[in-house]
Amino acid sequence: NAGVTQTPKFQVLKTGQSMTLQCAQDMNHNSMYWYRQDPGMGLRLIYYSASEGTTDKGEVPNGYNVSRLNKREFSLRLESAAPSQTSVYFCASSGDRGHTDTQYFGPGTRLTVL
Amino acid sequence: SQKIEQNSEALNIQEGKTATLTCNYTNYSPAYLQWYRQDPGRGPVFLLLIRENEKEKRKERLKVTFDTTLKQSLFHITASQPADSATYLCALGGNQGGKLIFGQGTELSVKP
């Protein structure tokens, strides 16, 4: 069991470039999440997917899009990167313990936008 | 709006002592509260969950209390060890599907 995997681990972009962050989980979880973590701000929810085929905005969705490709995979796309999107991005999944919603996190993607 | 606050300053304690971390919240009535541990460069890892109808939960050297009147949770690590050094995050949930609201975390440093 790999748990939650994310690619890439590190990325440097120039302003205006686009990229897609990939996330996959092998725990058969229904729900998946994308967060960003900035110093002093904690984890902020960007988008989430309660089940395959559904996605919803979180607290900070502007500048991002997501795709729930299938039950395993949930990708995050930056269409036109901005320096304000420099952050650490975490993907998480939940759903194996009834209604307790314990979340399992990936190792993160460290993104720098110049 | 909903707000969660954890000790913003790092907590430094001596090995063997009890570490106590605080999580306060406003404008929210969570069904449960979770605590996570995060090591540098890693994703958070789940530690404990306590429900709104529970006052206290224990797991090995960890103890969590939950006071819904004070809107506060305390997280204790007894007989602390240098390996306990990490950032600890509290998270509230239960009323928004599977979504959690995270605090900003408290950094704990245990000195030998």
> Which percentage of chain B shows pLDDT scores above 70?
98
Average pLDDT of the residues in A31-47: 93
Q: How far apart are CA A51 and CA A31, in angstroms?
A: 5
- Tell me what pLDDT residue B27 has: 86
> Which percentage of chain A shows pLDDT scores above 70?
96
C-beta atoms of B105 and A108 within 8 A: no
pLDDT at B1 over 80: no
Residues of A in contact with B47 (CB under 8 A): none
pLDDT bin (cut points 50, 70, 90) of residue A100 is low
Residues of B in contact with A45 (CB under 8 A): 99
- Tell me what pLDDT residue B58 has: 96
Q: What are phi and psi of B84, to 5 degrees?
A: -80, -10
pLDDT at A97 over 60: no
pLDDT at A35 over 80: yes
Residues of A in contact with B39 (CB under 8 A): none
CA distance B45 to chain A (A): 7
Instruction: Mention every residue, 6+ apart, whose C-beta is less than 8 A from residue B34.
Output: A102, B46, B47, B48, B49, B50, B90, B91, B92, B93, B100
Residue (of A6, A94, A42, A80) closest to B96 by Cα position: A94
User: Chain A interface, mutation test: which of B21, B33, B39, B100, most A Cβ atoms within 10 Å?
Assistant: B100
pLDDT at A113 over 80: yes
C-beta atoms of B93 and A58 within 8 A: no
Vertex A71, ends A68 and A73: CA angle to 5°? Answer: 55
Average pLDDT of the residues in B43-65: 95
- Tell me what pLDDT residue A99 has: 55
Which two structure tokens, joined as six digits, stand for A111?
Answer: 């993104």
Question: Minimum mean pLDDT among A4-13, A88-97, B51-60, B100-109: which range?
Answer: A88-97
C-beta atoms of B98 and A4 within 8 A: no
C-beta atoms of A33 and B99 within 8 A: yes
Residues of B in contact with A99 (CB under 8 A): 94
**Which string of DSSP letters, residue by residue, matches A73-107?**
BEEEEESS--GGG-EEEEEEEE-SSTTS---EE--
